[in-house]
Amino acid sequence: MTGALVQRLRSTAATLTGRVRLPSRPLAVPPDPSLKAVPGDPGLPVIGHALGTLYDTLNYGRARYERFGPVFWGEVLGTKIVTVLGPEGMEAIAANRDKAFANQGAYDYLIGPFFHRGVMLMDFEEHLQHRRIMQEAFTRPRLHRYLDAMNPQISRGLDAWRPGSRFALYDAAKRLTLDIANEVFMGEPSGPDADRVIRAFIDAVHGGQAMIRKDVPGGIWARGLRGRRVLEDYFRERLPAHRAGDGDDLFSVLCRAVSEDGERFTDEDIVNHMIFLMMAAHDTSTITLAMMGYYLGRHPEWQEKVRAESRDLGREWITYDDLDRLESLDLVMKEAMRINAPVGGLFRQAIKDTEVLGYYIPAGTIVSAGTYGTQRMDEVWHNPDEFDPGRFASDRREDKVHRYAWAPFGGGAHKCIGMYFGTMEVKAIMHQLVLRHSWTVPEGYHPPIGYGTGPMPLDGLPITLS
Ligand code: HEM
């Protein structure tokens, strides 16, 4: 059975179960009468709302928002989750002014066994300390060097793209970004060793997305744990050489990074951060790139604008300063990330009794601030389901309505540290791609969308590449 068919079956099941309307119950009775109880329902026995949240995420969120308002709860595979939708709610969670929310409890549950001790799974003082050191690997001069290393790798990768009528754009983008990661993150050329690491890495990522979250032999979870061990061994083996060398790859840079206060990472920190960084960088950039490709295929007028600006630059490899000159590419990237937020939500756990938008959230509750739903809200955006990059142009700036209306990189203390890196990588690839190829998608084609870190195409995203 093809991925697309499986997805169609899943979303039909999700739509059908989504129609089951159980009576609303409060999540918990607020101790303070000025606070409201979070409305919602547990969903079906055992699975709860798993089908809706995983396979029909947008419609599920919209239906719950309509019924309950911006804060509601449901159960997913036995865990109660409060969802918050809308820019005000996003801000309350991301800014975390009262320090009532922590990342660790939420992300440990979701991806902890595969990505533990990554910077996103740390909180407060410890998080700040690690982030200060890591920041040294993302300074402007560093980004310049990563781009220098990336450009030839992009050229080599694109050399292998063969025009055809069913060119799987998502799959090709995935391969390309992984090869770039080898070069720029690990300082290793492609080869059998790199392939082994890529496989282990993909297994670890899939582990976090497993429905059966137990170490059953042969299962997705077990494969993920094995992948994690391979990655740990790989980075540990190479650590001494990277510490001793003077490489410009991210791995070497993290080995040498020193914060302004003179703090450095231990060997274990570097292994954990490298594994997490690969994950954080990879699917996000791939999804963004693939979805931009899809929209440019559907909207040839935008593809032409992007190509014309790239041609005007007059060079095959962009420099860091060129990034701001590719205005249409910037609008298209923003719009693709608005429609399909590559990270669909921010997960937190309440570590004390608190409130969001006047709703009572008891300590221990897992909360998800829905970027995907918020960036597709009627109240915030004009025709939110339509691809309209001009909405970000200086004469419209629809995103100005609220600072969290458009927040694909999150916000607050955990705001994406790789925002400039990811933007640079996607633009550097797209620039070379539009100079080499043009492409279309068949009339009426919409990729089936599943849910990983966020919404993602499930059919490899076939385009006609010329
Ligand atoms: C289009 C690409 C990307 C998108 C949309 C994206 C999105 C995000 C979001 C929404 C968060 C916040 C999660 C939260 O608060 O719960 C985040 C965090 C993070 N991202 Fe990205 N990301 C992208 C690319 C990258 C890249 C390329 C890197 C590394 C090179 C990276 C590294 C990280 C790290 C380390 C964190 C955790 C930061 C912290 O907790 O302090 N990301 N990203």
Instruction: Give the model's pLDDT for residue 275.
Output: 95
Half-sphere exposure of 277 (CA within 13 A, CB side): 27
Cβ of 180 below 6 Å from ligand 1 = no
Q: How many angstroms separate the alpha carbon of residue 416 from the centre of ligand 1?
A: 4
Instruction: Give the model's pLDDT for residue 454.
Output: 86
Ligand 1 atom with the smallest distance to the CA of 127 is: 41
**Residue 1: pLDDT band by 50, 70, 90 thresholds?**
very low
Cβ of 93 below 6 Å from ligand 1 = no
Average pLDDT of the segment spanning 136-160:
96
Cα 107 to chain center, whole Å?
Answer: 14
Cβ of 342 below 6 Å from ligand 1 = yes
Q: How many angstroms separate the alpha carbon of residue 410 from the centre of ligand 1?
A: 8
Q: How many angstroms separate the alpha carbon of residue 452 from the centre of ligand 1?
A: 14
pLDDT over 70 at 334, yes or no: yes
Q: How many angstroms separate the alpha carbon of residue 94 from the centre of ligand 1?
A: 13
Cβ of 106 below 6 Å from ligand 1 = no
Q: In whole angstroms, what is the distance from residue 303 CA to residue 332 CA? A: 9
Cβ of 119 below 6 Å from ligand 1 = yes
Cβ of 221 below 6 Å from ligand 1 = no
H or E stretch at 323: none
Residues whose CB falls within 8 Å of the CB of residue 455, separated by 6 or more in sequence, listed in order: 57, 58, 287, 340, 341, 344, 372, 449
**Tokens found for residue 45:** 């026995």
Q: In whole angstroms, what is the distance from residue 462 CA to residue 166 CA? A: 5
pLDDT over 60 at 264, yes or no: yes
Q: Tokens 């410009």 correspond to what residue? A: 248
Q: In whole angstroms, what is the distance from residue 31 CA to residue 35 CA? A: 8
- Bridge-based pairing of strands 354-356 and 164-168 is unpaired
Reference 113, options 200, 196, 228, 274; nearest CA is 228
**Tokens found for residue 273:** 């951060």
Ligand 1 atom with the smallest distance to the CA of 410 is: 10
Ligand 1 atom with the smallest distance to the CA of 337 is: 5
Residue-wise pLDDT for 346-364, tens only, equals: 999 999 999 999 999 999 9
Q: How many angstroms separate the alpha carbon of residue 119 from the centre of ligand 1?
A: 10
Instruction: Give the model's pLDDT for residue 14.
Output: 65
Q: How many angstroms separate the alpha carbon of residue 207 from the centre of ligand 1?
A: 19
Residue-wise pLDDT for 151-193, tens only, equals: 999 999 999 999 999 999 999 999 999 989 988 998 887 777 7
At residue 451, the 3 state secondary structure works out as strand
Which residues are registered as beta bridge partners of 345? 370
Determine the residue of 146, 406, 416 to mutate for testing ligand 1's pocket, defined as the one with the most ligand atoms within 8 A of the Cβ atom: 416
Q: How many angstroms separate the alpha carbon of residue 342 from the centre of ligand 1?
A: 10
At residue 275, the 3 state secondary structure works out as helix
**Tokens found for residue 30:** 């607020």
Q: In whole angstroms, what is the distance from residue 243 CA to residue 453 CA? A: 32
Instruction: Read off the pTM.
Output: 0.95
Which amino acid residue places its CA nearest to atom 7 of ligand 1? Answer: 409
> For the CA atoms of 128, 129, 133, 139, what is the dihedral angle to 10 degrees?
20
**Residue 223: pLDDT band by 50, 70, 90 thresholds?**
very high
Which amino acid residue places its CA nearest to atom 15 of ligand 1? Answer: 414
Locate the DSSP E strands across 136-241. Answer: 164-168
Cβ of 120 below 6 Å from ligand 1 = yes
